[in-house]
Amino acid sequence: MEPVVGATPKVVKSDQEWREELSPDEYSVLRQAGTERPFTGKYTDTTTVGVYSCRGCGTELFTSDTKFESHCGWPSFYDPADSDAVITREDRSLPGRPRTEVLCATCHGHLGHVFEGEGYDTPTDQRYCINSVALTLRPAEE
């Protein structure tokens, strides 16, 4: 994974430490910018009220209040829980299709991509398309 220009992660671990702490699928997504197959993720259709945190470092990233049904195959959110929770960078890994990659601001783990102008009825007109394997859901206490 390329370093993020102008940003230093607050959580820094060696590649070996990440491999020991994460499952192979988690490592592939969070540390190598992989993508889980659509409609296979644990949180794609979940409606549980709570907070979604980074699987790599535990930083709160999104809340269930901003999760919406996009029918794209991955959990979708229209806004991060905190404006400083995620960072973005240009992703030109697909020829002819530049995208905006979303990373955890704390550990720089790859989360997914953000798209704009797709016509979803959300307050931000954005869709943060996030890999379930990059997240941990902490249900709200009743």
Catalytic residue check, 129: yes
Distance CA(42)–CA(40), nearest Å, equals 7
Please pick, among 54, 104, 107, 129, the residue that the annotation labels catalytic: 129
Distance (Å, rounded) from C-alpha 9 to C-alpha 6? 10
- Sheet (strand 76-77) strand order: 67-68, 76-77, 126-130, 110-116, 99-104, 86-91
Residue carrying the six token digits 């490592």 = 27
CA distance 77 to 130: 8
- Catalytic residue numbers read 129
